[in-house]
């Protein structure tokens, strides 16, 4: 009787014992260069709210920074474990400067940017020559995008004044206040332009420069080597989240309202509609051609000398494994 009682007690105990997934849940701090966040950078928040991280036993916190500079410092110092929303050009330039980081997933393979300007400053790119351009940092993606747009439009990007302001939200506030003349913002800010007749939408950036990626997931080399299974799970959760976002407007807007309570629902809805369907990387990757275009531009403008080859910059093991299980999408 005693062994039967012991077996029954053991079975009952197992019912209330935490699952291995819960017991081994990995706690991870993921950095984002956007504070406050935007609907365009919503992927990790969706992964938290809709349980994609939890599905793989991951306990994830998003740590927000105002721009890439502080974000990169936090990554290198170990204040955060990995990055999910780091400006793509920042990641590329950093790796070329021998910063020990690699790309592990692409959250946004194209940009959500628009070039906007104060109407009184000028209504064409040529008319804006000599004016101030707000950026998140010198060398950040918000610095390079307007330069590429200007160059492709036949305007010399060197004839503008570049002013460091911060995130897309910060830059939008600066242009509304009349502190700067030009900037790039996301679909989120463009969705509000109806309330600001003094500001005009000059260029829908992805239509002019579709090659440039927006946000990268970056990690230090040593972290990657020590946490390969965790990174694979993170990559898979990010891809699943992006696929959910790309096909679920109502749910995405619902999550956005939680993390952006000050944004009206109609603005968030319009923001989603303005987004190019390719914005959320349903395969979590970037083509070698797009990468090479970006590094070639960065070389021409003097922000890197010897870029890291695509195969060395992008550690595709985790994305490729996830896609083998999930299947690729167009």
* CA 60/CA 195 separation, integer angstroms: 36
Bridge partners (DSSP) of residue 62 are: 30
Q: Where are the domains of the chain?
A: 12-110+212-326, 114-208
The alpha-carbon radius of gyration of the chain (Å, integer) is 22
Classify the phi-psi angles of 51: left when phi > 0, otherwise alpha if psi is within -120 to 50, otherwise beta: left
* CA 18/CA 290 separation, integer angstroms: 45
* CA 202/CA 150 separation, integer angstroms: 11
Residue 40: both structure tokens together: 């365009």
CATH C-level class of 114-208: alpha beta
Q: Which of 82, 37, 45 is nearest to 242 (CA)?
A: 45
| Domain 114-208 in the same topology as domain 12-110+212-326 | yes
Q: Which of 3, 6, 80, 45 is nearest to 244 (CA)?
A: 45
Q: 12-110+212-326, what's its fold? A: D-Maltodextrin-Binding Protein; domain 2 (3.40.190)
Is the separation of the CB atoms in 189 and 169 below 8 Å? yes
Is the separation of the CB atoms in 86 and 158 below 8 Å? no
Print burial letters for 216-226: b (CB count within 10 Å at least 16), e (below 16). bbbbbeebbee
DSSP code at position 314:
B
pLDDT tens for each residue of the chain, 330 residues long: 454 444 444 444 443 333 333 334 568 999 999 888 999 999 999 999 999 999 999 999 999 998 888 999 999 999 999 999 999 989 999 999 999 999 999 999 999 999 999 999 999 999 999 999 999 888 787 888 899 899 989 999 999 999 999 887 899 999 999 999 999 988 988 999 999 999 999 999 988 888 989 999 999 999 999 999 999 999 999 999 999 999 999 999 999 999 999 999 999 999 999 998 899 999 999 999 999 999 998 888 788 889 999 999 999 999 999 999 999 987
> For position 26, what pLDDT does the model report?
64
**pTM of the entire structure?**
0.82
* CA 103 from centroid of its chain's CA atoms: 12
How many other C-beta atoms can be found within 10 angstroms of the C-beta atom of residue 264? 12
The terminus-to-terminus CA distance of the chain in angstroms comes to: 62
């Amino acid at each position: 009787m005693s062994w039967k009682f012991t077996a029954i007690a053991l079975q009952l105990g197992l019912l209330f014992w935490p699952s291995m997934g819960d017991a081994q849940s990995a706690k991870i701090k993921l950095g984002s260069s956007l504070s406050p966040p935007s609907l365009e950078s919503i992927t990790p928040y969706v992964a938290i709210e809709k349980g994609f991280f939890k599905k793989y036993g991951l306990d994830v916190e998003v740590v927000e920074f105002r721009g890439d500079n502080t974000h990169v410092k936090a990554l290198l110092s170990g204040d955060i474990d990995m990055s999910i929303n780091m400006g793509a050009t920042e990641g590329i330039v950093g790796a070329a400067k021998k910063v020990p980081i690699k790309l592990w997933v692409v959250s946004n393979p194209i940009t959500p940017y628009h070039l906007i300007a104060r109407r009184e400053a000028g209504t064409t790119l040529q008319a804006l020559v000599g004016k101030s351009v707000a950026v998140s940092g010198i060398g950040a993606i918000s610095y390079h995008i307007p330069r590429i747009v200007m160059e492709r439009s036949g305007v010399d990007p060197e004839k503008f004044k570049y002013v460091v302001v911060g995130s897309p939200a910060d830059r939008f506030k600066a242009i509304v206040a009349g502190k700067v003349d030009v900037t790039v913002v996301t679909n989120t800010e463009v969705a509000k332009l109806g309330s600001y007749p003094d500001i005009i939408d000059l260029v829908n950036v992805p239509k002019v420069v579709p090659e440039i990626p927006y946000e990268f997931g970056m990690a230090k080399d040593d972290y990657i080597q020590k946490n390969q299974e965790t990174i694979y799970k993170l990559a898979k959760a990010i891809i699943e989240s992006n696929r959910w976002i790309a096909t679920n407007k109502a749910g995405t807007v619902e999550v956005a309202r939680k993390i952006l309570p000050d944004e009206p629902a109609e603005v968030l809805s319009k923001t989603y509609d303005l987004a190019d369907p390719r914005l959320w990387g349903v395969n979590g990757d970037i083509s070698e051609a797009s990468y090479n275009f970006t590094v070639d531009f960065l070389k021409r403008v003097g922000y890197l000398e010897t870029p890291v080859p695509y195969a060395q910059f992008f550690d595709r093991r985790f994305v490729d494994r996830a896609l083998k299980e999930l299947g690729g999408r167009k």
